[in-house]
Chains A and B, each alone.
Chain A
Amino acid sequence: MSGQPQGCGAPAGGVAVSENSSGEAIIEGTVSAGGAPVQVGYARLLDDGGEFVAEVPLGADGGFRFFAAPGTWTVRVLAPRGARAEETVSANRGHTTTLAVSVTAPGN
């Protein structure tokens, strides 16, 4: 880390995993619609009380990544035209939990 604190912003797809990430409780995945990656959309992480914890814009491959803590979390996806999806997952330290989320837009 440099002298300036890193901002809290999330790059599209989430921050890359580095060699320092081995102790992290990572939740990552991709979002697709009809088999194609969803490139415009957002993944948000909610805690076990349903409270917002973090949000990242999806990457070009529909990807997202969170650095959570051990426990139960919900990933909620928002995409254009009201498309939504929600999945509950558990995270463990030193482990990467991978999700494949598919969304369907109402009326599509």
Chain B
Amino acid sequence: MSRSDVLVDADWVEAHLGDPGVVLVEVDEDTSAYDKGHIANAVKLDWKKDLQDPVRRDFVDKHGFEELLSDRGISNDDLVILYGGNNNWFAAYAYWYFKLYGHANVKLLDGGRKKWELDSRDLVTEVPNRPRTSYHAADADTSIRAFRDEVIAAIGQRNLVDVRSPDEFSGKLLAPAHLPQEQAQRGGHIPTAKNVPWSKAANDDGTFKSDDDLRKLYGDEAGLDFGKDTIAYCRIGERSAHTWFVLHELLEQPKVKNYDGSWTEYGSLVGVPIELGAGR
């Protein structure tokens, strides 16, 4: 596998956005961005309304995923190109999700919406009309999804990567600094976790750093043991999906899981150990 198997750049998208069998999908939490303008022919996925169960804290089940992709006119053999705002966090989350339900051919637009906008490339408001399909999802692949008990058992045993900002890691902030800080759960991090903020894997324009830089970042600088399994987490699992993408798809680490319960779950559990401060 190489970078071109999992990433495309903006020039590639401009050249192929009308190709049959290629579906562009913008994924955002705030879908007003899509409504104001998106890449031509892109359909939208709403991270919250479309990808999260409306009642339980979980993402949509296999049937829900099939229904969603059928509704958006996506077929099993389509090449899906995902992109979005927030440096592709939600697009990376959707990528992880598409992989979890077995979609074969899915890639990320490197740099996402931000790079596209900073390049002053065209955005349109026309919404494409894609005929409904009959999408078939695979059973959820839990080899890439971690649950809380597994995370607690991994303390001191596996690589735990906390991809939040240093101030969230230390316990100074409970949420990213563009959000109100009212959450009630405890601050801090899972003991033995290394803090490698997701942002260190990306350039200012949202594109991923080179494989050499990434290997240096997680290996030499953070001290991850590449011989061990790894679990990445953040606050709710989308920033850590970005890091999951880096470790599993770009650096081809075989056993990497995303813990989507993340700090909003762990930091509210009764009786689990929490570490404060900068760590290491």
Contact = CB atoms under 8 A, between A and B. Distances in A.
A55 B182 CA distance: 19
Interface stretch (B8-16, B102-110, B111-119, B244-252): B111-119
A18 B236 CA distance: 23
Nearest to A40: B117
A55 B114 CA distance: 11
Given A51-B166, A57-B85, A4 B120 contact: no
Interface string B13-44: 00000000000000011101100000000000
A49 B120 CA distance: 31
Interface string B163-188: 00111000011011111111100000
A21 interface: yes
Given A4-B52, A47-B165, A10 B178 contact: yes
Contact of A18 (B28, B166, B180, B234): B180
A69 B86 contact: no
A47 B52 CA distance: 32
A20 B32 contact: no
Contact of B236 (A5, A52, A68): A5
B239 A47 contact: no
A79 interface: yes
B57 interface: yes
B114 A7 contact: no
Given A4-B48, A8-B86, A8-B236, A52 B199 contact: yes
Contacts of A57: 33, 85, 114
Interface in A50-101: 51-57, 65-69, 78-81
Main secondary structure of the interface of B (DSSP, over half): loop
Contact of B178 (A14, A21, A47, A81): A14
Interface string A23-52: 010000000000000001010110101011
Given A20-B180, A57-B33, A78-B204, A8 B238 contact: yes
19 contacts: A1-B183, A5-B57, A7-B236, A8-B89, A8-B235, A9-B30, A9-B238, A14-B178, A15-B180, A18-B180, A40-B117, A47-B165, A49-B166, A54-B165, A54-B176, A54-B177, A67-B180, A68-B177, A78-B204
Interface of A: 1, 3-12, 14-15, 18, 20-21, 24, 40, 42, 44-45, 47, 49, 51-57, 65-69, 78-81
